[in-house]
Amino acid sequence: MKINIYYGGRKLIGDPTLYALKVIENVLSELNVEYERIELSEKKNVISTLPNTLKDADGIILASTVEWFSVGGYMLQFLDACWLYADKDVISKIYMMPVVLSTTYGEKEGLNFLSSAWEVLGGNVTQGVSGYFAELSSFENNDNYKRLIEKSTEGLYRTINQKTASLPSSNKVIINKATKIQNVDLTPQETEQLSKYASDDEYVKRQKEDIMELSQLFKHRLDGEPVVEETKYISDFKRIFKPVPGVNGVYKFKITEYAKPLIVTVNGTKIDCAYKESEYADAEIQLKEEILKEVIASKTSFQRSFMNGKIKIKGDFSQINNLDKMFPFYDYNEM
């Protein structure tokens, strides 16, 4: 018999769930049961591959701690991965015992959540363990609490050993009615590769940027608007540019209708303009295209538009004055 223990807590000092797992593991050792504890926090970059570890398990224990509201995020990620990648036929043969202890409140809700989630996945649920402990000492020094956990663990062992049947549950109907498209047929190698992409922040960031760019592109086409040219307004900034001694900076113009910001870089008497992504900027100017058109047409200035709430600034607010000096579309002396 093999039992996997999936711990979704953060291994904090005073976590009552850790003590409960210690009691459970002692009982399993006495029963000569092979077990393995998997710390989800240590496997956060490969959580999507963990459903593969269910294949050699007869039973599992899902253990989490409620620190403020419901079970932890790592446990939710693991259950999501089970829904997407796990072999549902394998899950249907696995008995699960939920363990949810709380240092605040919500242990009953957490226990019910894990039980329902595992049944929706098609698995079997045994009697779990839940409780509230403000202080770990009140847990460790109470033999009655310890015995309750031991009995629940022994119950899991007997249930697996006897393959005890359970009454039908409406939760299990969902797995039969859910669309088959959600079951992604991936090899372990493909799943591991997917998890590497999912844990790569730079990759995810690039994907989000590409999606945003495409959404803006198709939005303009659906609305019948022309696609923004990547050179628009650049000649206007270069034409009017007037160097100001001692003033340099990077200015990011985030035009609402555009997929990419217009980055204007001033270095002494040199100016560079391009539509591109840039994490750094001395000032980020958010505005609609119509406001930029009014500034270029000398109908208003950057500062006046800012004062009227038509422009938002992030970063160095003093740069708004420098913009009107370096790009005097609107006569600065008339302001």
Structure tokens at 53: 């570890």
Whether 77 contacts 85, CB under 8 Å: no
Fold of 2-178: Rossmann fold (3.40.50)
**What pLDDT is recorded for position 180?**
47
Distance CA 2, CA 160 (A): 10
The per-residue pLDDT for 140 is: 87
Q: Split the chain (335 residues) into runs of 10 and give each run's mean pLDDT.
A: 93 89 95 94 90 94 88 89 91 94 88 92 92 86 92 93 76 54 54 58 65 62 54 91 91 91 93 89 92 92 90 85 89 49
- The strand pairing partners of 21, in sequence order, are none
pLDDT value of residue 197 = 58
* Eight-class DSSP state of 147: H
pLDDT for residue 103: 85
Cα–Cα distances (Å) from 242 to 90, 267, 333, in that order, read 71, 12, 14
What is the reported pLDDT for 227? 47
HEC readout, 173-222: HHHHHCCHHHCCCCCHHHHHHHHHHHCCHHHHHHHHHHHHHHHHHHHHHH
Opening angle at CA 332, ends 330 and 335, nearest 5? 90
In the sheet where 283-287 sits, what is the strand order? 270-275, 262-267, 249-255, 283-287, 312-315
Name the strand (E) or helix (H) holding 160. helix 143-162
State residue 174's pLDDT score: 58
Q: What is the pLDDT of residue 38?
A: 95
What residues contact residue 216 under an 8 Å CB cut-off, 6+ apart? Answer: 257, 258, 259
pLDDT, residue 136, reads 84
The whole-number pLDDT of residue 27 equals 95
Q: From CA 79, how far away is CA 197, in angstroms rounded?
A: 19
The three-point CA angle 118-63-169 to 5° equals 20
Distance of CA 326 to the CA centre of its chain: 42
Q: What is the pLDDT of residue 67?
A: 81
Domain boundaries 234-334, CATH class: alpha beta
- The pLDDT assigned to 222 comes to 56
The structural domains of the chain, with segments of one domain joined by +, span 2-178, 234-334
d(CA 134, CA 16): 9
285 vs 316: CA distance, rounded Å: 10
Sequential DSSP letters for 62-130: EEEEESSSSS-HHHHHHHHHHHHHS-HHHHTT-EEEEEEEESSS-HHHHHHHHHHHHHHTT-EE---EE
